[in-house]
Structure 1
């Protein structure tokens, strides 16, 4: 299969692309949330409380997603800062484990919005083994995943 092995330069380039894409999405979603807040005020003034409540739930969900994207951006920055460590070590460094596992876990969940995140996750799995990627996804390894999207899930479950 072509391109199935670990390529350090491909990982580095895609980490940078993910950071840029996340920044753009964060800005876009934040601006849309600001506009939606004005709409909510209009709905409340017009007495459309139920419609306003639905919009508020959507804004809350988007705010949590923006926070999750900020965390992912920080993890990508961390991996870039310690890229020499990724290249030189065959085993996963304990200082990078949370970042790596979170990015692998988040990739299928944000793949539709950040396609490069899947490439990053694939490269990390190629580096540290496909089995590691499966374990991360199945067991939700790492503490940060819970913080990352648990609030988003709770909003979705209530609807």
Structure 2
């Protein structure tokens, strides 16, 4: 696949030139986009909504272009980092397929702004054959970056994106703006709140972004569970005392003197002297 006319040093120099040119263009377009946003805010404040929408489409395309340039800058940096593989290998390294094919695909679309990009594309085609270059320009091999193709597409930006830009610009410059009612039905349920709650947040003094937190309705609040009452434990069964007997409940840890119920509570005294025996008279 090695083709004639490939010059490694020329490719290296132009890759660096492309990176420098892309950085300058990104900075310039970003500054112009900021100024254009102020102009759109003036259109909204004066009630020229349709003119503001047309201007926003241009800003969206410029933002897309800046993102595409950032991707190309990344790929150029990747080729410079792995330039040794380009010089030493005849076949294209699998890790460089997307970068090489994307640069070749983007060259005819951006060569009016980045002239060095055409030289990079020509050198890559000289390295990996003109047939490979044709396949990359039509993306028949399917290795061109999908995101970059979307950013450089010629399709008009979706209406919902235009409305989101207008809403954000109106917020940043404190300009009242009512989103287009015809666009709202196209919004997904998760995105609808962003468009509807913009004015409500401004009137209520809320911050931007989202509709804020709101408490759920009372019907949706879960009711607390009733705690079960403690179970009543039955008292232990006591047998009744026998008839005529008094209940015996001495205090714990005390001992009472033994009382004999026949002797007045004291035992009989022992005699101190032996008994005397008297004769029985006739």
Return the TM-score normalized by structure 1.
0.82
Pick closer, same or farther for the CA change 1:4–1:108 going to 2, 3 Å.
farther
Q: Secondary structure at the match of 2:94?
A: coil
How far apart are the structure 1 equivalents of 2:22 and 2:281? 27
The Cα of 1:2 is off from its aligned counterpart by 17
How far apart are the structure 2 equivalents of 1:3 and 1:16? 23
Q: Which has the larger radius of gyration?
A: 2
The Cα of 1:12 is off from its aligned counterpart by 0.2
Give every structure 1 segment of 4 or more consecutive aligned residues whose post-TM-superposition deviation is greater than 2 Å: 1-4
Q: Secondary structure at the match of 2:74?
A: helix
More helix by share: 1
Pick closer, same or farther for the CA change 1:25–1:3 going to 2, 3 Å.
farther
Extract unaligned runs of 5+ from structure 2. 135-279
Pick closer, same or farther for the CA change 1:36–1:25 going to 2, 3 Å.
same
1:33-80 Cα shifts (integer Å, max 9, x gaps): 000000000000011111100111100111011000000000000000
The Cα of 1:122 is off from its aligned counterpart by 0.2
How far apart are the structure 1 equivalents of 2:23 and 2:4? 28
1:97-145 Cα shifts (integer Å, max 9, x gaps): 00000000000000100000000000000000000000xxxxxxxxxxx
Computed over aligned residues only, the root mean square deviation of the Cα atoms, in angstroms, reads 22.5
Pick closer, same or farther for the CA change 1:15–1:26 going to 2, 3 Å.
same
Greater RCO between the two (CA within 8 Å, min separation 6)?
Answer: 1
The Cα of 1:158 is off from its aligned counterpart by 160
Q: Does structure 1 conserve the Cα–Cα contact (< 8 Å) formed by 2:3 and 2:128?
A: no
How far apart are the structure 2 equivalents of 1:81 and 1:38? 40
Pick closer, same or farther for the CA change 1:96–1:158 going to 2, 3 Å.
farther
Pick closer, same or farther for the CA change 1:122–1:68 going to 2, 3 Å.
same
Return the TM-score normalized by structure 2.
0.46
Extract unaligned runs of 5+ from structure 1. 135-156
Match of 1:158 in 2: 281
Q: How many residues align?
A: 137
